[in-house]
Structure 1
Amino acid sequence: MVSRGSYSSSSLLTGRFHARKLSPSIITFYTMFIFAFSIFMFFFYVRHISVDEDPPLPLLSQQSKSHQVPELPVHYKQLWDTPFNHGLHQCVKPTTKYKAAQGFDRYLTVRSNGGLNQMRTGISDMVAVAHIMNATLVIPQLDKRSFWNDSSVFSDVFDELHFIESLKGDIRIVSELPKNLEGVPRARKHFTSWSGVGYYEEMTRLWSDYQVIHVAKSDSRLANNDLPLDIQRLRCRAMYHALRFSPPIENLGKRLVDRLRSHGGRYIALHLRYEKDMLSFTGCAYGLTDAESEELRILRENTNYWKVKKINSTEQRIGGFCPLTPKEVGIFLHALGYPPSTPIYIAAGVIYGGNTHLSELSSRFPSIIFKESLATPEELKDFANHASQTAALDYIICVESDVFVPSYSGNMARAVEGHRRFLGHRKTINPDRKGLVGIFDMLETGELVEGRELSNMVQRMHKNRQGAPRKRHGSLPGIKGRARFRTEEPFYENPYPECICGSKSKLEIT
């Protein structure tokens, strides 16, 4: 009886269930409601993660408590993502018309000048010049007499064997002159700056009287624009492929990048040009004491190869010709939306004034990292007193950073920006130094305070200054003659369009 009763109740319930079957329209409504609710919860969760969570705080350097300024709700992806590159890619292979140089009995010797990146761009140009002049290039001498007083030779800084081998399809390169030519008379030339192919073709007349031409300076000897496509691509092959750093520098540089990533994930590389020589050379004394300003003036007066001695510091700053101060960099990065926990690697020499000036940055961003805090003394021992080699470590870390910010547009800043463009337009934020002066002055006078209004102003000003693809700028309008070359954007700052291509129909094969 019990069994039948249970069965009867079950049958009754089942019958009632079928009798009240839901209509298709009601089922559709419930389905759409559940789907919409799920989408809402997903985006709420993603937004919560990306906006509210800061990158992990690295344990490398915490010099001071964070400057108390309001947090700015800028989207996390917006801070770190690479600009859209429109499908552009590297293109450095020669065209079908290209022929390698064959001048095995003619030799070009070169004395490079300047710091690391001035020498790198100059050496890359000399590769192209050797090709135009159909010459064998002797491994260049590095600058040992400039401000840096560095005794490094080529193989200390660069991988000499790789340099020779990677360009063997373009020019012949030898480590030194043949013994039988060491004592022969040489043509000693200061090639004209920003010269074109025609100029160097004219210089080949020297081969009728000399077997060796010595180039006394290598920087800016080749034009930025209006050169054959194959010459421009050869410059890129030399700069970005052949001039690899020596194995000790490459290996340590990669280890330091890995350490930065393991501690803090993403990081900013800040090229902070606030060294004594830079401030003295530019005549920039804003924010310095009278004693510091006088010290810089005396250094400028006593440095023979700095031609300009009297400089108006105020005019320099208003014109945007001064490096940002550590304090200004801190205000700038915060206004862009970077949180105080952001790891910032400082690529620089000795900061003028030491922690007195640096604390104005570290008070806002405590996670300040130098190579000296990232590497062990043992690792840095072999690079001590060799400015070119330590600069090469900074170069590697800057090129590999998630965001690169130069406080001044010097040789390294331009070289790093160009390399990052070549590698896929990695994010590079170029401060509008001239435009920022007015904002900083309003902060100083109290007309403006840090917060949403300041952030909006800075972000609007730099919307199109973050490394997105664009063609290289030509000379400024209204400037004629050779003076126009100084106003052009340097080739190695932006090798687009010759070495960065879109579809195959646009710029030859890749």
Structure 2
Amino acid sequence: MRRENGSCPLMPEEVGLLLRAMAYPSQTIIYLAGSETFGGQRLLIPLRALFPNLVDRTTLCSETELLDLVSPEAPLLADNIFRPALQKSEQQVIDEWKKAGPRPRPLPPPPDRPIYQHEKEGWYAWITETDKEPDPSPMDLRKQAHRLIWDALDYMVSVEAHAFIPGFNNDGSGWPDFSGLVIGQRLYERASSRTYRPDKKKIATLFNIMRDDMYHPKRNWTLSVKEHLNRSLSEDGLIWQSLLSKPKSFLSHPLPECSCRIPSVEIPKQIKGKDGRILYGGEEQCPKWMHSARAGGAIDNDKESAEDNEDAVEQLESDVTDVTSCLTSLIDHDEEWDPND
């Protein structure tokens, strides 16, 4: 049900089938951003079988090159490392058994299974012991900072790519997502770049048609995929993206506010949304909300410049006072000086 509503992401295998339907050759180099999101290399096997030149940041960069992206870091004290209880020796167990009291006694419980380090990492370390999540440790914060740097690297590669197809965007949370930010940046910098905007509902319907034989689609299915993806590159895709993404995140579709202003006579058509905003087409003047933001910024700049001028005047007055006092002291010294002394 969620898949038919367009709430599920496109899996790597499905993206590979879409690219093959668009007649991309198998030698095409594909960069997969956020490869760990899909659950490991196992789910990437079908996509790698279709396009062997599948790469990500871990295959393009060595571990040393990735660590060079962050500045030298001081070692952290491992205070929160889980240490299992000390194992008792055989002699200690025998002595405790002899001192346990009168017989008959129940047999001692079997020895506990050793607890490994990977079983005490992440939320596994506290979910069975406490009800509240503990504060992140310095090591957790450092790992989160590293993930942000790796995401920034994926973002730069995605923005500069020859073509971009999002696996998942518009999750409905109202917050900007990775794919939405990439689409908005590519639209702002190079509107002519090949950025696919597939409708996940339509794609789910197409895959349901040939779910039994996905690797041998019929010609009609291939033509339908080509038509849908090519339309997502045209004006229809821009209008659909603006209707879907812009009310939730301006950064995912920064047009026409961040585009050049041209007279409305030269515009073939203007499409407006329910709130009156222009979704596609130019504007003769900037929107009202941009005017108010610009006015607020101008007022702040005027205040800052006035404060800077006041500071400069005060500094100049203090300098003049210092120079005057210095000259006065020199004159007094000359009057008191006697050459016969």
The TM-score with structure 1 as length reference comes to: 0.34
Using CA pairs under 8 Å that are at least 6 residues apart, name the structure with larger relative contact order, 1 or 2. Answer: 1
The TM-score with structure 2 as length reference comes to: 0.49
Higher normalized helix content (fraction of residues): 2
